[in-house]
Structure 1
Amino acid sequence: MQNIEQTSRRDFMKLAAAAGGGLFLGFNWSASAAAPVVVNGQAIAAGMVNFNSYLSIGTDNIITIVSPNPEIGQGIKTAFPMVVAEELDADWKMVKTVQGNLDNSKFERQVTGGSGAVPHSWERLRKAGAMARFLLVEAAAARWKVPVSEITTDNGKVLHKTSGRSFTYGQLAVDASGLTAPKEITLKNEKDFRLIGQSVKNVDNQNIFTGKPLFGLDVYKEGMLFAQIQRPKAFGLKLKSVDATAAKAMPGIVDVVTFENSVAVVGKSTWQVKKAREAVKIEYEKAADLESSADHNRIFKELLDHGEATVRRKDGDADAAFKNAAKVIKAEYQCPFLPHSPLEPMNFFAHVREDGVELVGPTQTPDRARDEVSKITGFPKEKITVEITRQGGGFGRRLAADFVTEAAHVSKLVKAPVKVMWTREDDMTGGTYRPAVRYRFEAALDASGQLIGYKLRGVGMNSGNSTREDNFPSGAVDNLLIDSVEHKSPITTGPWRAPITNFLAYAEQAFLDEIAEAAGKDPVQFRLELLEKAKKLPAGAIKYDIDRMIAIIKMAAEKSNWGKKKGVYQGFSVYFSHRSYVAQVGEVIMEKGKPVLKNIVAAVDCGIVINKSGSLQQVRGGVVDGMGHAMYGNLTFKDGAPDQSNFNGFRLIRMNEIPEVEVHFVDNGISPTGLGEPALPPTGAAIANAFYKATKQRLRNQPFTQEDSFKGLS
């Protein structure tokens, strides 16, 4: 059988039918209670059966699952089939997975974002695997004329131990396809898992290592043209005039077209269009304020002091608590804009034909991509196809669809298939950044050091709600006020890995350490006391699991030997996001009079770990990402234009700066929760709190290396 990882869903169905039919299971992704249904392989190949997704067992013993969610490096294309294979008792070597294309009639939630793919599909996938196993056992029992209770399965085989007989799954696939599937099925007990929880290599590794075409940048279609787009060089400018005479005369250039606020150069190679783009003469005019970073600092101060705030949560009477407080602690924390900087710059293929549109490329939200292209072209959604490629990173940037609509615009204008290619400079200066934010915290303590009042105001640049009002310590403080103020900036922003919490967690957890110090309490014990109070006497709604948070705090303290290591300065942080709980301890030592981060201990409660290897990579990657951007990431502006346009100006973390990252997972048997993002938010505070222990210098602004208190130490 040919390598089906590279085929479309339709091609896969044709291949499976040609291979002799076999067992096909359609199962509904939109409702975990919906039972898989056995259908005929020839019917599926002919497109006559309407299901949301398919599990197949071919006569050649190949087990295939169509995975609908975009793969951006989070390992979903490996985790999904692992879940099916576990319930199926499959031979993992015979398991294949196919990337599903956009299909709203067959899939639900074809999105990579919010760390939600596995929580959404966990039970659905298990039922699909368990149902297939049930039917195979029934087929074997009928052939052998023995009770089902005498039959077991193992590693892709059905076994009758009494007689020593066995069948491979492929040998039974056709028989099983003629049986009726039950509406309900018994799932494995988690203690019997043999594949889930093990370390499994990513299913795309071989193709990645050998350079096989997987990514959007690899896409090539017959007759395809290439396009690069000149966008305004500053946020707040609009297109005034274009002179493309010189560019159109250059070799390989097919056309230069304008749309919305952009100029596209279209040609036969990326190098030709890149050079021609430099020859286009463009004039812009001002359409909005051209903001600089100095303006942002002024705006933050004005809005914190006088901005019209939206109350996000109010418990008790915070003003009265502060009026009667024995001690008040105040602090402000600020972060800059950040680009996403995925390894693969934005790109997308579009072919706007007379009868519909073909879209191919890396998108985290294929449904949004299709919707936006529908608006541009006027074609109904059913006339637009979206093929999803593997993606060289996204971090939230590919949740947007601007690069997709650019391709559609250009293809429509030049009446040809086009792939839009962004350069690294385009990618870094093209917007949709993490919003810049500033927080003002206030805490009120009574004479005994108890936290009796808490205030948080967030000011964000196009951030919507810059707070997470229901996260800890909400629910643990009787008198609490959380509000936010919004500044509408011409600088475009969007979700960035662990939206809002990527910085808010650092600010909240660093400020909690400030409160603990003012109260004369150990930072870990202070958090545990607040959680115990929330458990016994909750103040308002509790939107997090107190027991899970307490358990993860204790695990991190235990694994790090909290407070007991000589010559090691430890900083603590804990956060709940994307359904998961992560606590971290940063460990700093002094070398030649300077603080050096040597280790981060991470305790993680994400429920059942599916792929241990992939999960470790997600946690360690999140920690390194969180550390790198907290320490170094800084995108600044002058007159609406980014000062940094490539990695020579935008500082990333370097290999020799990465500390040891020690990861521990909680084994609590809870269904899997998010993991792509939750390890990032706590990292900044664990580091900042550890540096404070070592130096008594607070780090309240990111990046840390730009802080005056940090510069004096480096």
Structure 2
Amino acid sequence: MMRSLKKKVSRRDFLRTSALSGGGLLIGFNLLSACKPEAKMPRNISEINFQDFNAFIKIGEDGYVTIISPNPEIGQGVKTAMPMIIAEELEVSWDKVIIEQGKLNTNDFDRQVAGGSQSIRHGWEGLRATGATARQMLINAAAIRWGVEASTCRAEEGKVINEQGDQYYYGELVADAAKLEIPEKVALKSPKDFKIIGQNATNVDMDAILGGQALYGMDLEREGMVYAAVRHPEAFGQTLLSYDDSATLKIKGVLRTLAFGDKIAVLATNTWAAFQGKDALKVEWKDGPKMESSTDHEKILTALLDSPQADIRREDGQVDQAMKQADFLLERDYHAPFLPHNCMEPMNFFAHVQPDKVELIGPIQTPAGSAKRVAKELNRAPEQISVEMTRMGGGFGRRLYGDFVLDAAIISDKSGLPIKLVYSREDDMTAGIYRPAMKYRIRAAVKAGKVSAYEMKEAGINGNMYGLIPNFFPAAAIQNYRVTSIKHQSDITIGAWRAPYTNFIGFAEQCFFDELAEQMQKDPISLRLELLENAKDHLDDKIQYSPQRMIDTIKLVARKGNWGKAKPGRYQGFSAYYSHNTHVAEIAEIEMVEGLPVVKKVTAAVDCGIVVNPTGAINQVQGGVIDGIGHALYGELQFENGKALSDNFDNYKLIRMREVPEVEVHFVESQEHPTGLGEPGLPPAAAAVANAIFKASGQRIYRQPMLKAFQEAAQS
């Protein structure tokens, strides 16, 4: 049961065309159906501001097609996959397509965001319509030249061909096509006729990445710019009292220091001098009233779970009554620690604040939101703020938050200099934005061999699940069902971390169902399928997932992963989870090596609708699985008196290349519209491994990091 949240816009608002002064056809279109009604195509090409539209497709007289896209590229592959969709409907060879990164347009468009695994899903229909419209206009132009009906002509490989076999290349037609009316209705290709969609395509930036060309924020250089580093409070809840910069100013390359808020900036001619200067500062901090530690959070979250208070997110049936009438109950608690994002590219941004404008350049997932924050902080008009986006060396939600953008702008404003701000790894890990620490308590009732009731309560630090999650499985699958949440306010900053909240809910829920299946003496997959079949008869308008699509996905992974037929010495665990509009099921295989679990293989089955770029899609799923396993096995950020105890990779373990398992990915054949892929592969991964660990050792895992929990249980 999939529902589109996309705005409805008229084709007139969606597309505008114009002739290029140098020859060619320009189509301005709204990449994500967010075009505001007042956005207008200029009468003359000289009036065109290439930020007046969310994106452009330009067809030159040489036949090459240039697609200008504003969406931030974070490694999710949209800079490749989205143009593939346009090129498919346009009927142009992929080697004739050129991709350019656009800038932020805050005047006419609402959504230029990399987040939520929604870019392809939201852009699918609009991108296809754009390509198909351009194709039809070129066909119409050729038909007029030949004096024939457009229906007797066809487009193929960048040409228009008539019934006699005569042909025009697109480059010969663009000037005429630009003068024509935009067709109100165009035919979209049948998926069976796709030539580009569904074929492997190399990342369009691959050569530049391998060649070390300047694509990332860290590569950016501007004449006259200086480097800045920032000294943050050493612990959450602290404020700045005073500082001594005498030692800092003696360091070669350091230019000056300045304080803003509770931070101190060090300006220098290079990053090394800035970092050294930052460390040389002598700072006096004042502790706040809530200097919390991880031991505090453990007690606080448990108390919140024990409390009768909570916000009801969804409630069906009579949960309490069903619990009282049960043949038996199962109740378990699951604990998630704080996690940093650990992007490979450090947080960085360029800012140049001038009297009449503010120039911002760098890696950011939310350019519009960051521009608004800067405008508000500097008391500038929004139109004075420009943002250029670079490719990002990882984001995972961290670059949704423009704190580093704001820092760069403030430092530039106060110093009057163009600033390149760079955070060190320690800066981001100790003063960053984290996945929140969470606890979940899950209870289920079983009556006459059936799951009769289910309740999940969430307790979180500073945040709770977003509104859609209570309408994921097992909603509708269990008649008596309740989801509640409660949170504790802390000074520690939290935010989205790859697959927000579902990254751990998936672990807790799917570990719980595995244990429930054991108690019911049922195969774990059989229990899921039984519940999903029941859900078909109890769907409502709020339910987000499709029981049948999840059933098909589970059956596919069971076949491809040889469920129940593991090699001697290997143990299997199963998990399935729906998030970001995509259904995923995974089977993990582990071996016990010197008493410890080692993940050897994960088989993943995915229903994400039509797969646009199989190479990119496989990479996304593999990355999500590996990320999920690595952080679940090893990741943990603890606090003592408000201070993060891990500050770099020597004391915070990430999964190593030698520890990465084989990840085999299979896609459910589908004609449904594409859905998300950057995040959905992650939530089921940890539970599949944890359930395999139980098969191998008899030990259930209830908290992360799992390896630490396993070792502690083995020693007790």
TM-score, reference length from structure 2: 0.93
1:29–1:107: 8 Å Cα contact kept in structure 2?
no
Quickly say closer, same or farther: Cα 1:279–1:174, change in 2 above 3 A.
same
Give yes or no for the alignment of 1:558 onto 2:559. Answer: yes
Quickly say closer, same or farther: Cα 1:538–1:611, change in 2 above 3 A.
closer
2:351–2:420: 8 Å Cα contact kept in structure 1?
yes
1:578–1:674: 8 Å Cα contact kept in structure 2?
yes
Write out aligned runs for 1:642-657 (5 A).
642-657=644-659
Distance (Å, rounded) in 2 between the aligned partners of 1:647 and 1:139: 60
Give yes or no for the alignment of 1:703 onto 2:692. Answer: no
Quickly say closer, same or farther: Cα 1:401–1:49, change in 2 above 3 A.
closer
Match of 1:113 among 112, 115, 126: 115
Give yes or no for the alignment of 1:518 onto 2:512. Answer: no
1:348–1:360: 8 Å Cα contact kept in structure 2?
yes
Q: 1:358, CA displacement in angstroms?
A: 0.8
Write out aligned runs for 1:191-206 (5 A).
191-206=192-207
1:698–1:709: 8 Å Cα contact kept in structure 2?
no
Quickly say closer, same or farther: Cα 1:576–1:218, change in 2 above 3 A.
same
Find the counterpart in structure 1 of residue 458 from structure 2. 458
Q: 1:592, CA displacement in angstroms?
A: 6.5
Report the secondary structure of 2:185's partner residue: coil
Distance (Å, rounded) in 1 between the aligned partners of 2:594 and 2:245: 59
Q: 1:540, CA displacement in angstroms?
A: 9.4
Distance (Å, rounded) in 2 between the aligned partners of 1:352 and 1:709: 53
Distance (Å, rounded) in 1 between the aligned partners of 2:356 and 2:712: 60
Q: Which structure 1 residue ranges, 5 or more long, are not aligned?
A: 1-15
Q: 1:253, CA displacement in angstroms?
A: 2.5
Quickly say closer, same or farther: Cα 1:566–1:203, change in 2 above 3 A.
closer
Distance (Å, rounded) in 2 between the aligned partners of 1:399 and 1:51: 23
2:26–2:59: 8 Å Cα contact kept in structure 1?
yes
2:19–2:175: 8 Å Cα contact kept in structure 1?
no
1:23–1:40: 8 Å Cα contact kept in structure 2?
no
Find the counterpart in structure 1 of residue 335 from structure 2. 334
Distance (Å, rounded) in 2 between the aligned partners of 1:710 and 1:582: 31
Residue by residue, what CA displacement relative to the aligned partner does 1:418-442 show, whole Å, maximum 9, x if unpaired? 1111111112112210001111111
Residue by residue, what CA displacement relative to the aligned partner does 1:599-629 show, whole Å, maximum 9, x if unpaired? 1110001111111100010000000000101
Give yes or no for the alignment of 1:549 onto 2:580. Answer: no
Distance (Å, rounded) in 2 between the aligned partners of 1:378 and 1:33: 27
Distance (Å, rounded) in 1 between the aligned partners of 2:593 and 2:52: 65
Find the counterpart in structure 2 of residue 62 from structure 1. 64
Write out aligned runs for 1:594-613 (5 A).
595-613=597-615
Report the secondary structure of 2:213's partner residue: coil
Report the secondary structure of 1:682's partner residue: helix
Q: 1:598, CA displacement in angstroms?
A: 1.8
Distance (Å, rounded) in 2 between the aligned partners of 1:335 and 1:391: 27
Q: 1:101, CA displacement in angstroms?
A: 0.8
Report the secondary structure of 2:455's partner residue: strand
Residue type of the partner of 2:454? Answer: Y
Quickly say closer, same or farther: Cα 1:687–1:419, change in 2 above 3 A.
same
Quickly say closer, same or farther: Cα 1:44–1:84, change in 2 above 3 A.
farther
1:315–1:539: 8 Å Cα contact kept in structure 2?
no
Write out aligned runs for 1:656-695 (5 A).
656-695=658-697
Distance (Å, rounded) in 1 between the aligned partners of 2:603 and 2:91: 35
Report the secondary structure of 2:470's partner residue: coil
Q: Which structure 2 residue ranges, 5 or more long, are not aligned?
A: 1-17
Report the secondary structure of 1:707's partner residue: helix
Quickly say closer, same or farther: Cα 1:492–1:307, change in 2 above 3 A.
farther
Residue by residue, what CA displacement relative to the aligned partner does 1:225-263 show, whole Å, maximum 9, x if unpaired? 110000001111111111223323433323211111100
Find the counterpart in structure 1 of residue 572 from structure 2. 570
Report the secondary structure of 2:72's partner residue: coil
Distance (Å, rounded) in 2 between the aligned partners of 1:628 and 1:142: 60
Find the counterpart in structure 1 of residue 304 from structure 2. 303
Quickly say closer, same or farther: Cα 1:213–1:32, change in 2 above 3 A.
closer
2:572–2:589: 8 Å Cα contact kept in structure 1?
yes
1:237–1:288: 8 Å Cα contact kept in structure 2?
no
Distance (Å, rounded) in 1 between the aligned partners of 2:209 and 2:526: 46
Distance (Å, rounded) in 2 between the aligned partners of 1:49 and 1:403: 25
Distance (Å, rounded) in 2 between the aligned partners of 1:344 and 1:143: 53
Residue by residue, what CA displacement relative to the aligned partner does 1:49-103 show, whole Å, maximum 9, x if unpaired? 9543221101122201111110000001001110110001111111011111110
Report the secondary structure of 1:469's partner residue: helix
Q: 1:369, CA displacement in angstroms?
A: 0.5
Quickly say closer, same or farther: Cα 1:259–1:158, change in 2 above 3 A.
same
CA RMSD of aligned residues (A): 2.4
Write out aligned runs for 1:279-298 (5 A).
279-298=280-299
Report the secondary structure of 2:241's partner residue: strand
Write out aligned runs for 1:142-541 (5 A).
142-160=144-162, 162-163=164-165, 165-306=166-307, 308-446=309-447, 448-465=448-465, 468-537=469-538, 541=542
Quickly say closer, same or farther: Cα 1:91–1:706, change in 2 above 3 A.
same
Distance (Å, rounded) in 1 between the aligned partners of 2:190 and 2:457: 47
Report the secondary structure of 1:311's partner residue: strand
Give yes or no for the alignment of 1:89 onto 2:91. Answer: yes
Find the counterpart in structure 2 of residue 9 from structure 1. none
- Mean CA deviation greater in 550-559 or 612-621: 550-559
1:571–1:687: 8 Å Cα contact kept in structure 2?
yes
Report the secondary structure of 2:228's partner residue: strand
Q: Percent identity?
A: 46
- Mean CA deviation greater in 48-57 or 173-182: 48-57
Find the counterpart in structure 2 of residue 132 from structure 1. 134
Report the secondary structure of 1:245's partner residue: coil
Report the secondary structure of 2:658's partner residue: helix
Q: 1:48, CA displacement in angstroms?
A: 9.6
Distance (Å, rounded) in 2 between the aligned partners of 1:318 and 1:397: 38
Find the counterpart in structure 1 of residue 4 from structure 2. none
Match of 2:54 among 46, 52, 73: 52
- Mean CA deviation greater in 470-479 or 98-107: 98-107
Q: 1:676, CA displacement in angstroms?
A: 0.7
Find the counterpart in structure 1 of residue 14 from structure 2. none
Residue type of the partner of 1:464? Answer: N
1:135–1:176: 8 Å Cα contact kept in structure 2?
yes
Q: 1:111, CA displacement in angstroms?
A: 0.3
Find the counterpart in structure 2 of residue 13 from structure 1. none
Report the secondary structure of 1:74's partner residue: coil
Distance (Å, rounded) in 2 between the aligned partners of 1:196 and 1:130: 14
Residue by residue, what CA displacement relative to the aligned partner does 1:567-622 show, whole Å, maximum 9, x if unpaired? 34221111111111101111224557654322111000111111110001000000
Q: 1:413, CA displacement in angstroms?
A: 0.5
Quickly say closer, same or farther: Cα 1:460–1:319, change in 2 above 3 A.
same
Distance (Å, rounded) in 1 between the aligned partners of 2:19 and 2:280: 54
Quickly say closer, same or farther: Cα 1:680–1:548, change in 2 above 3 A.
same
Report the secondary structure of 1:131's partner residue: helix
Report the secondary structure of 1:181's partner residue: coil
Quickly say closer, same or farther: Cα 1:303–1:697, change in 2 above 3 A.
same
Find the counterpart in structure 1 of residue 625 from structure 2. 623
Quickly say closer, same or farther: Cα 1:606–1:710, change in 2 above 3 A.
farther
Report the secondary structure of 2:536's partner residue: helix
1:460–1:466: 8 Å Cα contact kept in structure 2?
no
- Mean CA deviation greater in 360-369 or 182-191: 182-191
Residue type of the partner of 1:117? Answer: S
Q: 1:204, CA displacement in angstroms?
A: 0.5
Match of 1:639 among 641, 655, 658: 641
Residue type of the partner of 2:625? Answer: V
Residue type of the partner of 1:657? Answer: E
2:578–2:680: 8 Å Cα contact kept in structure 1?
yes
Q: 1:649, CA displacement in angstroms?
A: 0.8
